[in-house]
């Protein structure tokens, strides 16, 4: 007897030009199963999700639901009844309200009238279950990255679909929201729903998946019950043959400009923040004073809304500040002026790469060199594209960027590889201050250390000050100091590495411990 699977993909192939994204992928999800799907940046995970969601047609192979061939691509309704997807990149329409987004293309009507009341109530019920403070009538453009992610998840849950695909749903969520998502997923799975779960946080896969499929270069290398594999074995299968990444430190050093030595006398070098006050939906800042010296690496962390991302944004000129001052190497930055920050030597890796990180339809080379256009231009102001691409190429190679070439539009890259382009863009200008907000979001386990060491090495060898604003504690391991924000204020500071994760987590919750008090 052949077993029927809730979802079955057989021999899926998909190419984009010369890139073979999927090379004959087989995948099965049973009813009431949570299957993990892992693989490095560019392995083909999101491409498979778009095939399983009916958004793109495979070149070969077929998808089945409960043993029946999937509907034709034109039958949008047919697919929607089968599958609900939380896509890696936001599909929320910023101009619409939360409720409108949740029921987009799935409007509830009473007779001929749109039943807004019922839709608002349903939306509110789901958001309340999550214990989230999001107004159902808020326009989505006013929401934070995390709140947008919740809207996506609520939309997928609201369809009542029996199969849910989650492509990195937790990338922008903080711990408590992740816990609530997992509770929800566990309930759904127990009630017979099938879930495909993609994440670069492998410990999450161990937590909620019963089985895992590992993709490498568009092929399935392994499908195994979760208890038959360790995390190290999983990483080894994802990475495959260990390609020599070389000595990251020396690779980057040769690309970076060394410090010029004599710097202004009498001015305070590095980043100096005094009594900074900011009002922001991402969390206010309530009088922050902080100095980051040249070559120093300072991490800032805290719960969502504590002001961590706000701090990075204010320094980079991406958000306005109400009071206080920020200066870099003695030059005062102006509130909300990204252009002045850039001219003053601030390199910036933003939180939301889709919005602030790159221009999707421009090439990798052009995006990466955007901050150094002047330096690359001829006397007449002309920039040869080849010159841009040549400048970008060694950086791309050092970060092992997966791309078909420097001309490829960044919008075509996988999520983690898009993130690497924003990292190159921030470093290539030889900044005197690097502000990195959640720099490893969406980056695979093996590439995380590449991204982090590129930042650390840049700070060490060029004397740049480095400010890392992140809720990912692994990102902060190499810092000289870690500052914890709580409700917009500096709560405490850790100076002893290796840093104690538990103590830092406690501090983010506003709990001070004996050890801290003593130090």
Ligand X SMILES: Nc1ncnc2c1ncn2[C@@H]1O[C@H](COP(=O)(O)OP(=O)(O)OP(=O)(O)O)[C@@H](O)[C@H]1O
- Tell how far CA 331 is from the center of its chain: 31
Instruction: Tell me which of Mg ion, ligand X, none is bound by residue 142, counting a contact when its beta carbon lies within the kind-specific cut-off of 5 to 8 angstroms.
Output: none
**Per-residue mark of binding to Mg ion, 382-421 (x: CB under 5 A):** --------------------------------xx------
**Interface residue with ligand X, options 414, 432, 454, 470 (CB under 6 A):** 414
Should residue 88 be labelled a site residue for ligand X when binding is judged by CB under 6 A?
yes
The sheet that has 331-332: what strands, in order across it? 285-292, 271-278, 323-328, 331-332
CA distances 437 to 153, 158, 350, 354, Å, are: 23, 31, 5, 14
C-alpha–C-alpha distance, residues 469 and 426, integer Å: 15
C-alpha–C-alpha distance, residues 54 and 139, integer Å: 28
Stretch binding Mg ion (CB under 5 A), from 86-94, 211-219, 353-361, 405-413: 86-94
Should residue 164 be labelled a site residue for ligand X when binding is judged by CB under 6 A?
no
Beta carbon of residue 22, minimum distance to ligand X (angstroms, whole number) = 8
Instruction: Tell me which of Mg ion, ligand X, none is bound by residue 54, counting a contact when its beta carbon lies within the kind-specific cut-off of 5 to 8 angstroms.
Output: none
Should residue 426 be labelled a site residue for ligand X when binding is judged by CB under 6 A?
no
C-alpha–C-alpha distance, residues 185 and 201, integer Å: 16
Inter-axis angle of helices 385-398 and 415-428, to 10 degrees? 110
Where do runs of H (alpha helix) occur along 53-138?
A: 76-82, 98-102, 116-129
Should residue 194 be labelled a site residue for Mg ion when binding is judged by CB under 5 A?
no
| Residue 432: closest CA among 252, 248, 258 | 258
Stretch binding ligand X (CB under 6 A), from 137-145, 263-271, 280-288, 415-423: 415-423
C-alpha–C-alpha distance, residues 123 and 242, integer Å: 47
| Residue 263: closest CA among 295, 303, 305 | 295
Should residue 88 be labelled a site residue for Mg ion when binding is judged by CB under 5 A?
yes
CA dihedral 313, 314, 320, 326 (to 10 degrees): -160
**Interface residue with ligand X, options 310, 417, 462, 470 (CB under 6 A):** 417
Closer residue to ligand X (CB): 173 or 402: 402
Stretch binding ligand X (CB under 6 A), from 72-80, 204-212, 318-326, 414-422: 414-422
Beta carbon of residue 393, minimum distance to Mg ion (angstroms, whole number) = 24
CA distances 431 to 39, 461, 503, Å, are: 33, 12, 32
DSSP summary character for residue 511: -
**Strands, E assignment, 156-250:** 163-167, 194-198, 211-216, 219-225
**Per-residue mark of binding to ligand X, 188-227 (x: CB under 6 A):** ----------------------------------------
**Interface residue with ligand X, options 86, 413, 421, 458 (CB under 6 A):** 413
Stretch binding ligand X (CB under 6 A), from 137-145, 151-159, 172-180, 410-418: 410-418
**Interface residue with ligand X, options 36, 44, 307, 350 (CB under 6 A):** 44
Should residue 46 be labelled a site residue for Mg ion when binding is judged by CB under 5 A?
yes
- Count of CB atoms within 10 A of residue 160's CB? 9
C-alpha–C-alpha distance, residues 44 and 56, integer Å: 13
**Interface residue with ligand X, options 13, 412, 500, 509 (CB under 6 A):** 412
Closer residue to Mg ion (CB): 45 or 82: 45
Q: Which residue has the tokens 């100095």?
A: 291
Should residue 47 be labelled a site residue for ligand X when binding is judged by CB under 6 A?
yes
Should residue 439 be labelled a site residue for ligand X when binding is judged by CB under 6 A?
no
Stretch binding Mg ion (CB under 5 A), from 17-25, 85-93, 279-287, 385-393: 85-93
Binding site for ligand X (CB under 6 A): 16, 19, 21, 39, 41-47, 88, 402, 412-417, 444
């Amino acid at each position: 007897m052949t077993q029927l699977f809730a979802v079955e993909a057989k021999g899926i192939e998909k190419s984009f030009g010369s890139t073979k994204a999927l090379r004959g992928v087989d995948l099965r999800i049973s009813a009431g199963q949570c299957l993990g799907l892992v693989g490095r940046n560019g392995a083909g995970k999101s491409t498979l999700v778009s095939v399983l969601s009916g958004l793109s047609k495979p070149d070969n192979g077929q998808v089945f639901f409960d043993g029946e061939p999937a509907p034709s691509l034109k039958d949008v309704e047919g697919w929607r009844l089968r599958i609900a997807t939380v896509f890696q990149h936001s599909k929320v329409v910023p101009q619409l309200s939360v409720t409108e987004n949740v029921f987009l293309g799935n409007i509830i009507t009473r007779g001929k009238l749109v039943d807004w009341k019922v839709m608002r109530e349903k939306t509110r019920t789901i958001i309340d279950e999550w214990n989230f403070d999001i107004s159902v009538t808020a326009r989505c453009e006013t929401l934070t990255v995390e709140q947008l992610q919740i809207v996506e998840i609520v939309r997928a849950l609201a369809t009542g679909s029996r199969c849910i695909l989650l492509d990195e749903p937790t990338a922008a969520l903080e711990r408590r929201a992740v816990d609530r998502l997992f509770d929800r997923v566990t309930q759904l799975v127990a009630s017979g729903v099938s879930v495909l779960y993609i994440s670069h946080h492998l410990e999450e896969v161990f937590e909620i998946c019963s089985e895992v499929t590992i993709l490498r270069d568009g092929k399935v290398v392994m499908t195994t019950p979760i208890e038959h594999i360790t995390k190290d074995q999983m990483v080894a299968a994802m990475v495959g043959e260990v390609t020599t990444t070389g000595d990251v430190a020396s690779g980057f050093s040769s690309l970076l400009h060394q410090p010029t030595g004599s710097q202004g006398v009498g001015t305070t070098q590095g980043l100096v923040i005094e009594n900074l006050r900011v009002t922001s939906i991402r969390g206010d800042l309530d009088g922050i004073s902080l100095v980051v010296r040249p070559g120093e690496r300072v991490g800032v962390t805290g719960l969502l809304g504590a002001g961590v991302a706000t701090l990075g944004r204010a320094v980079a000129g991406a958000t306005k500040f109400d009071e206080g001052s920020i200066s870099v190497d003695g030059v005062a930055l102006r509130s909300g002026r990204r252009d002045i920050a850039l001219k003053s030597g601030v390199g910036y890796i933003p939180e939301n790469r889709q919005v602030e990180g790159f221009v999707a339809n421009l090439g990798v080379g052009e995006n990466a060199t955007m901050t150094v256009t002047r330096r690359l231009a001829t006397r007449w102001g002309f920039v040869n594209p080849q010159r841009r691409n040549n400048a970008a190429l060694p950086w791309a190679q050092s970060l092992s960027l997966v791309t078909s070439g420097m001309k490829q539009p960044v919008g075509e890259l996988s999520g983690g590889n898009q993130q690497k382009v924003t990292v190159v863009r921030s470093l290539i200008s030889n900044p005197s201050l690097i502000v990195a907000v959640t720099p490893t979001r969406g980056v695979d386990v093996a590439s995380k250390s590449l991204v982090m060491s590129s930042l650390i090495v840049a700070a060490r060898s060029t004397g740049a000050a480095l400010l890392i604003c992140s809720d990912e504690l692994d990102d902060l391991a190499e810092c000289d100091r870690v500052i914890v924000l709580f409700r917009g204020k500096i709560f405490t500071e850790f100076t002893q590495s290796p840093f104690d994760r538990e103590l830092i987590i406690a501090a983010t919750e506003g709990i001070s411990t004996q050890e801290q008090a003593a130090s």
